[in-house]
Structure formats: C-alpha cells, structure tokens
Structure 1
Amino acid sequence: MAAAEKALWYIESHFREDLSLADIARIACVSPYHLARLFQATTGWSVVRYMRARRLTEAAYLLAAGASDILDVALTSGYGSHEAFTRAFRDQFGITPDELRQRGHVSGLVLVDPLRAADMPTIALETPRIELGPTQLVAGLGCRYSDATTQGIPAQWQRLMLSLQGFSIAGKTAFGVFCNSDDEGSYEYIAGYDVSSFSGLNPAWSTIRLPARHYVVATHRGHISAIRRTWQTFTGSWLPESGLDVADAPDFERYAADFNADTGTGTVEIWVPLKS
C-alpha cells in the first residue's frame, strides 16, 4: 500500500482524534515533511485541511439529522468549545451549526466525503542507492510553494539566472532544495548552486546548509517535466516498502553535469535523508 493510501486510511479511521501530522506519518512510514508534500501531490489536499474538512463534513451530517446537542457534536469532532466549532463550521460551509440543524438537510453544502488516493502511474525506477552525502552549502533564490503551485518553479530558475551577476556557475552543481515545510503542505524551494561560503553573496538570495549524512538516492532520466512521477514512485511506493527510516529534514534534487537547462533533459538525482 502506498504512503498516501496508508495516510488516508488512518485519517478516515481516526479523524475525530487529536491527530498530528507526525502521528499519520508514522503510520505511513514516511517523515512528516515527506507526507505533507506527498499527500497534497496525490490528493490535492494538505493533510490538515483534509482532516478539518472531513471532521466538519461528518458533523454536518449529524446536525442535518437533528443532533440534539451542538456541543456534543463539537467535542466528537475534535473541537474544544462551541465557539471554536461554530467558527470553523461557518468558515467551511458559510452557515452556523445551528442554522444547519434548523434547516435539516445538507443540500447546497460543499461536503468532503472520503477520498480514494489517485496515485499517478508508477514508473520503472532504477534501484536507489544509499550514499553518504558531504556537507553542502547551497545558495540561490527561495520561493514558497504547495504541490498545487509547483508550476512556478521553472520561472524561479529563470529569475535565478537573471540574478547571477558576478557569480560564476562554472564547475558548480545545481540543486533544488525542498525545506521549511509546514503542516498545511507548503514548503520553501531553493533553486541554487553549491558555494564554498555564504559570504559576499547576493543579499536577496536564500541559503541553506545541508549537513553530511546518509541519503537514499533515486535517479530520474529524461525530461524534467516527468520528474514528479519519479518522486511519486520513489517516495510514495518504493521508499515506504524499503524499511528505511527517513529523517524529517530537507531533501533535494541534484542536477548532473549532463542536464541541459535549455531542453530540460538529462539526469537528476533525488536525495532523501535517512536517520542516523
């Protein structure tokens, strides 16, 4: 079972409980960081938004059926007070719990019923390898994305090229680093290059230090537009079945010397950190 499917099953079985992203990630056998990205890429929802929508949808069914006590519905839906529940309910559906109970039906509400993971087709993946990665300093442009907005990444690389005045990329390796994620499924993506020091760089650039550690590395070949399928197969299918313990730390794409930025073809390696 793929990681996103495991996460969906666990959410559906426990969404009335006080679940954390870490709780669900443990069941899915991936790190919270990777689950946040994988879940949104697979379902179109962040984990937190989906859990909230499922709780409130089930609450709406109870209220429309004539639940006698709104506070009881609030508590069983994971909310600590009538006020917090009413606020969240109104934000989700545009009406209050009491208004829905009086109306007695859910027609016209945008409800969120259980999802089935619509995984992208898996691909033939070259057997990943374990490698001890050295300490890397990476500098470049950082932007924040969710998996629904990653179409902006190519334009980010264009902006990086325009900001390279006085910075030579000869002999340097290009990196795309995914870091600083949140529970809503957004993360920072740094498009950049390896540097020997952070001193004297463009002050508008973002920087990150990737410490020496073990990684599991998958290889993507072909056009860069298909790399999402490689990510899906690697982190959504192969990795959860591998028995490896993934660290909750930045992962990255490392662009090989044969990668052609003009045509978008060549080799890209996906490095996912492992726990020590």
Structure 2
Amino acid sequence: MLDRLNRAVEHVEAHLDQRIDAAELARIAMTSEYHFRRLFSALAGIPLSEYVRRRRMTVAGAEVLAGERTLLEIAVRHGYGSAEAFARAFRAVHGVGPGEARRTGAVLRAQQRISFRLVVEGSSTMRYRVVEKEAFRVAGRKARVPLVHVGANPAIAEFVRGIAPETVRRMAALSDQEPRGVVAVSDDLDPSRAEGTELDYYHGVVTGAEVPGDLDVLAVPAGTWAVFESSGPFPQALQFLWRDVFTQWFPSNPYQSRPGPEILRVDVVEGEGGEETRADAELWIPVERTTA
C-alpha cells in the first residue's frame, strides 16, 4: 500500500504544472478516491489539496527567486489565469507577494516532498470487529458544525446542551439495534477533512422504527462496518482512535473506507478528586473489502 501511495506522490511531482486529478491519484494507489483522500490526510497530516498547493508554490517560489521567467510566465506555467490570482496564492503560502520576493530575496517557505515509509510499531493491538448491517435510520437532532481535530468541539457541545432532556428520552426509546443508546453521528464531511471544514452532526439513535416527524432522520443503506473499541482520556482517546484507524488499521487490513456516516457510541466516566475524565467508546466506520 505504501508503495502505491508513493507512486501517487511521484505523479503529483511530475504534474505540478498541470491540473492534478485526485481520481487519477486514487487509480494509481489502487483504491477509491474517497478512501485515498482520507488516507492521505491521515498519514500526511494535511489534506491532499493543501499539499498540492504548497508543493506547487514551493516550486513556483524557486522560479520566482531564480528570475529566469517573468512573473506572468510563472503564473501561467502553474495554472493561474492572471498574475493577480497567482500573487494571492503565492502570498497565502509564503507570506509575501512574488514581486516583493524577487526584489528583496525574501525568505520563502518550502513544503518538502512527502514520502511514505514503514515505521515498525505494531506492539499495540486494536480491538475491532466487522459487522454486516441491514439498512437503518439515524433519528435525532441535526446541526452543521465545524470539524475540530484536537480537543473538545465547542459547537457540538453547545448544540447538545440545547437539546431538551425530554427529547433525549424520546430518542433513546427508539434505539432498537447496535450501536445502542444515544450516539454521535458525523456525515457529509468535506473530502479534505481539513480543520474548520463543516459536517452534519446528529445527536440521536440507530433505529428501524418509525420516527416522529419532529426529529431529523438520516437514512443509511445496508453495508459493512468496521467497529473499533477504545478506552482512555476524553476526548483525546477518541480523536486518537480515528487517527489510528487510518494510519495503522487500514494499511494493515484488506479494507477501505466507503462513503457513509461515522457513528460513535461513548460512555463518559467523570473523574473524581482531580482524576481525568475517561471514555469507553465504539467507533463504527463504513468499509468495503479491497479488490487488490
């Protein structure tokens, strides 16, 4: 898998002066575009689109300082229709415009080329199971919130606090299958999964029952799910669990992620006498077997 990812990175390098198609990169990596974007983001630490932008501006920065081409020629070479659009993109990465950089020999920022290598860890184990589920519905309350990678999500916390206790009790009564109880559901995430992009968050239950009209409903088709178990400090352990699923489990198992909601069932244990708050959790990720 890592070899295929590195071939995709080589394709990026060879086509920085052209439009780079994520679907073509996924084909080279022999996986779906959906899974490729998520795996790249998890392993590289930045979204694919941001990596491409930084690499393109790194190469452009060297050309600006070299002074062998006009700024317009460099802009066109890297796919920008005007010097103004190029200057905005250049400044966003380097903190200085290309004209000023050329005049003053400014210090620029370089995005190093990514190379994926095997690091032998594997001393820890992940608890998981694979489940086939029939179609079901998520019933509850829905909000559009920003994605937060580390720490608590204030928007989600405020949204959940605003749900009436009676509404939560009515939702809980609808729970009739795994994962049981009130769950947190994330859906319609931006493919880049960049910090600050938005997602649909449902605070609700998984059910096959009829849903009252005052609740939001998400219909989920039948499919395969990988279910991961975790225990640890809240909320760090939950966020690290998602990271480990994509950086450790997927590269080591014959599965890839598929479009669909991610479902988190969590039991939070409040600490006493200064002890940290802990959580026991199940994370449900929609998956499919790889063909390669």
Q: TM-score range by the shorter chain?
A: 0.7 to 0.9
Q: Which amino acid in 1 is paired with 2:282? A: V
1:252-263 correspondence runs (5 A): 252-255=262-265, 259-260=267-268, 262=270
> Whole-Å Cα distance in 2 between the matches of residues 226 and 41 of structure 1?
16
Secondary structure of 2:166's counterpart equals coil
1:209 to 2:211 alignment: no
Structure number with higher relative contact order (C-alpha < 8 Å, ≥ 6 residues apart): 1
Residue 100 of structure 1: how far off its partner (Å) = 2.5
1:153-192 correspondence runs (5 A): 153=153, 156-157=156-157, 159-167=159-167, 168=169, 169-171=171-173, 172=175, 173-185=181-193, 186-192=197-203
Residue 30 of structure 1: how far off its partner (Å) = 5.3
Residue 192 of structure 1: how far off its partner (Å) = 1.2
What is the aligned partner in structure 2 of residue 64 from structure 1? Answer: 65
Name the TM-score, length of structure 2 as normaliser: 0.71
> Whole-Å Cα distance in 2 between the matches of residues 154 and 29 of structure 1?
38
In the superposition, relative to structure 1, how do residues 160 and 216 fare at CA in structure 2: closer, same or farther (>3 Å)? same
1:270 to 2:284 alignment: yes
Q: Which amino acid in 1 is paired with 2:231? A: G
1:114 to 2:128 alignment: no
1:51-90 correspondence runs (5 A): 51-90=52-91
> Quick check: 2:257–2:287 contact (8 Å CA) kept in 1?
yes
Residue 180 of structure 1: how far off its partner (Å) = 2.0
Secondary structure of 1:79's counterpart equals coil
What is the aligned partner in structure 1 of residue 248 from structure 2? Answer: 237
> Whole-Å Cα distance in 2 between the matches of residues 119 and 42 of structure 1?
11
In the superposition, relative to structure 1, how do residues 178 and 37 fare at CA in structure 2: closer, same or farther (>3 Å)? farther
Comparing 214-223 and 72-81, the one that deviates more: 72-81
Q: Which runs of 5+ in 2 are unaligned?
A: 176-180, 271-276
1:199 to 2:207 alignment: no
> Whole-Å Cα distance in 2 between the matches of residues 119 and 144 of structure 1?
35
Secondary structure of 1:114's counterpart equals coil
Secondary structure of 1:208's counterpart equals strand
Residue 243 of structure 1: how far off its partner (Å) = 3.9
1:95-134 correspondence runs (5 A): 95-103=96-104, 105-107=105-107, 109-115=108-114, 123-134=124-135
> Whole-Å Cα distance in 2 between the matches of residues 33 and 147 of structure 1?
20
Secondary structure of 1:265's counterpart equals strand
In the superposition, relative to structure 1, how do residues 96 and 170 fare at CA in structure 2: closer, same or farther (>3 Å)? closer
Residue 43 of structure 1: how far off its partner (Å) = 4.0
Deviations along 1:151-192, whole A, 9 cap, x unmatched?
233772464144134311444333332222235532415141
> Quick check: 2:136–2:219 contact (8 Å CA) kept in 1?
yes
